[in-house]
Amino acid sequence: MPKYTIVPGTEVPQTPFYYYDLDLLRRTLKTAADEAGKYGYRIHYALKANVEPRILAEIQRAGLGADCVSGYEVRCAVENGFAPQQIVFAGVGKSDREIEYAIRAGIFAFNCESLQELEVIDELAAKQGKVVNAALRINPNVQPDTHKYISTGQSESKFGISYTEVDAALAKLHELEHIRIVGLHFHIGSQIRKMESFAELARRVNEIAEWFESKGVELKHLNMGGGLGIDYGDPDAEPVPDFAGYFRTFRDNLRVREGQTVHFELGRSIVAQCGELITRVLYTKTTAGGAHFAITDAGMTELIRPALYSAHHRIENLTAEADRQPRPTGLYSIAGPICESSDVFARDIEFPESRRGDVLSIRSTGAYGSIMASNYNMRPIAPSLFSDGE
Ligand code: LLP
């Protein structure tokens, strides 16, 4: 596991801060690119997971494209060196301004999520005298094994064009002169660890693609979205996610036609394990019921995943680990300073006796950590530090 370590005799910088292990990021990127490369698959990194410029630079250098979900992310990708032709733009609510900007930037394709959106993109492309590429995001109605807030491909969810509407979408595309359909897009959810969910997606895609082909539509690209999960719990788990198993699942289940390219949009699996949130214990206390709390200087403003999804992140007491004298352990709840009862990182975990000033690390927070930070309680955004000292 990547580790921020306390070096005796040196001071820990002002907490809270995010710390990123760039070597692990590079190792992860190399594995992902090598495994995808075996089958000619292409990865677009989902910027929504983390947009630290240093991290984007590594990802861009590794040859990945960019998957964006707002005009701001499109601009961020362009500013961080991604070629417009390597950028795709998804999202259920793209505003006119964002669409206009992306057309002007000359991105590779829009992943379109409704019939109305197709009309709007067509109209805005016409104004710029352009014909733009679009992939239809189809809701495949596959239920993955993950938290309901991060499941996106079920018939009742807001994402994508429903399979009941594909006829109408095709008819609409025949009318529109400024949109060229280049493929299909799918995304069933995030933090999915059972490969069977992806196999099921691939099999659904085979049926859907066949239907489109039977209507004479040439599908140049199939975009399988993202969603590969990581191990949040096991301290000894290999930190590089199982890209080999993930891409092999598609190789074994997805039918790919001659000349067709397959795209993926991975976020979490690329950046989660290389990041950790470093925080200090401000106070310790014991409730009337006997529960021990360690109150930290990071809270849900720095990392909202536990409060929002009851997500589990491993926490370590770095000061206790560095101490020569072993400390007794007990059951502790680790909570932030925010005025919300949900601002708790972990409840009743076996933890070394904690003291004011102890430095803790909250692991596997490189994805959907700093990017989801807020200024609630007027708190400033925590800075980022990198393993090379910057
Ligand atoms: N493509 C689309 C269309 C998506 O909606 C997402 C994530 C991805 C790709 C990237 O998925 P990934 O490979 O990272 O699983 N904030 C939540 C996760 C939300 C994911 C939203 N969509 C969390 O902290 O768990």
- The whole-number average pLDDT for the span 214-237 is 96
Phi-psi sector, 225: left (phi>0), alpha (psi -120 to 50), beta: left
Give the pLDDT of residue 151: 62
Q: Is the CB–ligand 1 distance for residue 73 below 6 Å?
A: no
Mutation pick for ligand 1 pocket among 138, 228, 246, 265 (CB with most ligand atoms within 8 Å): 265
Q: 109: which 2 tokens?
A: 């394709």
- For 325-352, what is the mean pLDDT? 96
Q: Which CATH superfamily is domain 22-271 in?
A: Alanine racemase (3.20.20.10)
pLDDT at residue 146, rounded to an integer = 66
- Kindly list the catalytic residues: 339
Which of 45, 48, 50, 94 to probe ligand 1 with, by most ligand atoms within 8 A of CB?
Answer: 48
Q: What is the pLDDT of residue 101?
A: 98
Q: Where are the domains of the chain?
A: 22-271, 274-386
Q: Which CATH class for the 274-386 domain?
A: mainly beta
- Whether residue 284 contacts residue 295, with contact meaning beta carbons closer than 8 Å, is answered with yes
3-state secondary structure of 355: coil
Model pLDDT, residue 149? 62
Residue 214 has pLDDT above 60, yes or no: yes
Q: Is the CB of 265 under 6 A from ligand 1?
A: yes
Least reliable range by pLDDT among 13-17, 151-155, 334-338: 151-155
Q: How far away, in angstroms, is 47 Cα from ligand 1 center? A: 9
Is the per-residue pLDDT at 18 higher than 90?
yes
What stretches of 62-181 show up as alpha helix (H) in DSSP?
A: 71-79, 96-105, 115-127, 166-175
With a 6 Å cutoff on the Cβ, whether 94 touches ligand 1 is no
Task: Give 257-285 pLDDT, tens digit per residue.
Answer: 999 999 999 999 999 999 999 999 999 99
* Nearest residue to 368 (alpha-carbon basis) of 302, 286, 293: 302
pLDDT digits (tens, 9 = 90+) for 317-328: 999 999 888 999
